[in-house]
Amino acid sequence: MNKNVRHYDPIFKENAVLLSYVRNTVSETADELGVNPKMLSKWRTTYSKFAKGSFPCLGRKRVYYENKEIYELEKELADSQLRLEILEKGIKYINQGKQLLCNFIHQNRDKYPLYKMCEVLGASHSTYDLWKKQPFSKTETRVYLLKKEISSIFFEFEQHKGAVLITRELHSRGFQISEGQVSFWMKELGLRSKVKKKFKVTTNSKHNLCIAPNVLNRQFKVDKPCKVWVSDITYIRIDKRFLYLTVVMDLYDRKIIGLHLSSGLSTKVTTLPAFEKAIANRPVTEGLILHSDKGIQYANKLFTNKLAEYNCIPSMSRTGDSYDNAVVESFFNTLKREAIYKQKRLLTTSEMKIVILEYIENWYNKKRIHSSLNYKSIEEFNNINHEKEEDTL
């Protein structure tokens, strides 16, 4: 039997060749267009010889392209246009550090050739590969932790503590840091003691990921469960290192419905498992809002795709405003004040996990009285509302 032969339009062939010059790879272009790579290579060879006369209509002869310099100039022009496009979009990240530059390259790897972006933006391929394996360096992680702790202390004491008192508080919590360093980070975060001017907080949200608007807009009162969940990450000092605690809270009754402890900060060991535990504990209703900050653990594709899978609506705090996620921030302050800072020594990983789980599961979620619930425990609040619902049926 004769095989069906597919015929391609002359314009398609020419555009395919030109696109392969821009992509600078035959296999990638062929895969994108759904043609055989060998056929595309043959078209390129023909085009290098005949250029505009390479693909005449049926019944017409090819016109030999004598001036090969024009062909070379067309290739150079296509390459220049590609380099210019990459530079226009990526130039703002060149002087903002390896983290942001590599993140831009990673987000655009399907649009532009990887080697071309590295060449134009001055980033080596090895640097990008290392960044993929470990997006946060040890220094970046330490700075991130310090900023979170400084902000936490600042709001815990109602914005009345300055650099000197915050430094002393950090020392009492096991941090080795100078007053000058605390003052520097407070200035960068925009934290000022409450005197005359309103303070401004700037979180580290400089990344080219999936940023959502502030849908929640500080509407912390919710009339039904599973309408709004809030989430955040904090770190806890243990013996020789830190633990990271990620929680998901239902704003309706302030219950922690998902939590995860980890020794790393990647999405796979923070926000993703905490969210998966939350959906295992409570059903995901239509239009569920999940509110968080703009951290990379919430704004990356892995986590946003998981939200989309359950038709959840993402909401993120505005840059520089910690009050937009005040409820979960308040929970972290309460946890540290009532359970963690009472410890007389730095605990091991296993010891700290027991303390945290015991506090959340057996105290906070069951027995602790909450002012937001009219001074009732979460269990009492839910039992009363459950009885009211049954009476109305």
Angle (nearest 5°) at CA 92 between 19 and 102? 70
Q: Indicate whether 337 pLDDT > 60.
A: yes
| Beta bridge pairs of residue 47 | none
220 in a structural domain: no
One-character DSSP codes across 77-120: HHHHHHHHHHHHHHHHHHTS-HHHHHHHHHHTTTTS-HHHHHHH
Q: Are strands 369-370 and 376-377 parallel, antiparallel or unpaired?
A: antiparallel
Q: Indicate whether 3 pLDDT > 70.
A: no
Same domain, 124 and 56: no
Q: Pick the closest to residue 164 from 141, 181, 143 (CA basis).
A: 181
- Residue bearing tokens 């239509």: 286
Stronger pLDDT, 340 or 185, i.e. the higher one: 340
349: domain CATH number is 3.30.420.10
Between CA 258 and CA 271 the distance in angstroms is 10
Section 345-367 average pLDDT: 93
Q: Indicate whether 134 pLDDT > 70.
A: no
pLDDT at site 1? 46
Q: Indicate whether 346 pLDDT > 80.
A: yes
Residue where one domain finishes, among candidates 91, 108, 135: 135
Alpha helices in the chain (DSSP H): 10-23, 26-33, 37-50, 68-94, 98-107, 114-121, 125-133, 138-156, 163-172, 179-189, 271-281, 296-299, 301-309, 326-335, 349-357, 378-392
Section 290-316 average pLDDT: 92
Same domain, 24 and 165: no
Q: Indicate whether 53 pLDDT > 70.
A: no
Q: What is the DSSP letter of 230?
A: E
Q: Indicate whether 137 pLDDT > 80.
A: no
The answer to whether the predicted template modeling score (pTM) of the entire model surpasses 0.85 is no
- In whole numbers, what is the pLDDT of the chain averaged over residues? 82
Structure tokens at 98: 């390896």
Choice among 73-77, 105-109, 234-238 with the minimum mean pLDDT? 73-77
One-character DSSP codes across 285-298: -TT-EEEE-S-HHH
Task: Please tell me which of 6-20, 33-47, 250-264 the model is most confident about, judged by mean pLDDT.
Answer: 250-264
211 in a structural domain: no
User: To the nearest whole percent, how much of the chain has pLDDT over 90?
Assistant: 32
Section 46-73 average pLDDT: 62
pLDDT at site 140? 65
Q: Indicate whether 381 pLDDT > 90.
A: yes
pLDDT at site 366? 92
Same domain, 120 and 146: no
Section 343-348 average pLDDT: 88
Q: Where on the phi/psi map is residue 225: left (φ > 0), alpha (ψ -120 to 50), or beta?
A: beta
Same domain, 345 and 237: yes
pLDDT at site 130? 73
Same domain, 349 and 303: yes
Q: Where on the phi/psi map is residue 162: left (φ > 0), alpha (ψ -120 to 50), or beta?
A: beta
pLDDT at site 99? 73
Same domain, 129 and 163: no
Q: Pick the closest to residue 324 from 288, 293, 303, 290 (CA basis).
A: 293
Stronger pLDDT, 221 or 145, i.e. the higher one: 221
Stronger pLDDT, 129 or 116, i.e. the higher one: 116
CA 262 to chain centre: 17
201 in a structural domain: no
Q: How confident is the model at residue 25 (pLDDT cuts 50, 70, 90)?
A: confident
Between CA 232 and CA 279 the distance in angstroms is 16
Residue type, 176: Q
- Output phi, psi for 240, to 5 deg: 75, -15
3-state secondary structure of 313: strand
Q: How many domains, in total, are found in the chain?
A: 4
60 burial (CB, 10 Å; 0-12 / 13-18 / 19+) is exposed
pLDDT at site 47? 80
Residue where one domain finishes, among candidates 32, 66, 100: 66
pLDDT at site 197? 36
Same domain, 126 and 144: no
Farthest CA pair distance, the chain:
92
Same domain, 97 and 152: no
Between CA 335 and CA 348 the distance in angstroms is 18
Same domain, 35 and 149: no
Range of the domain at 167: 138-189
Section 265-284 average pLDDT: 94
pLDDT at site 153? 81
Q: Are strands 255-262 and 241-250 parallel, antiparallel or unpaired?
A: antiparallel
User: To the nearest whole percent, how much of the chain has pLDDT over 70?
Assistant: 83
- Residue-wise pLDDT for 191-247, tens only, equals 776 543 333 332 345 555 778 899 999 999 999 999 999 999 998 988 878 899 999
Same domain, 382 and 260: yes
**Cα dist. 126→207, 307, 313, 328, 367 in Å?**
21, 32, 37, 39, 53
Residue type, 181: Q
| Beta bridge pairs of residue 229 | 250, 290
Same domain, 266 and 381: yes
Q: Indicate whether 267 pLDDT > 80.
A: yes
Same domain, 270 and 341: yes
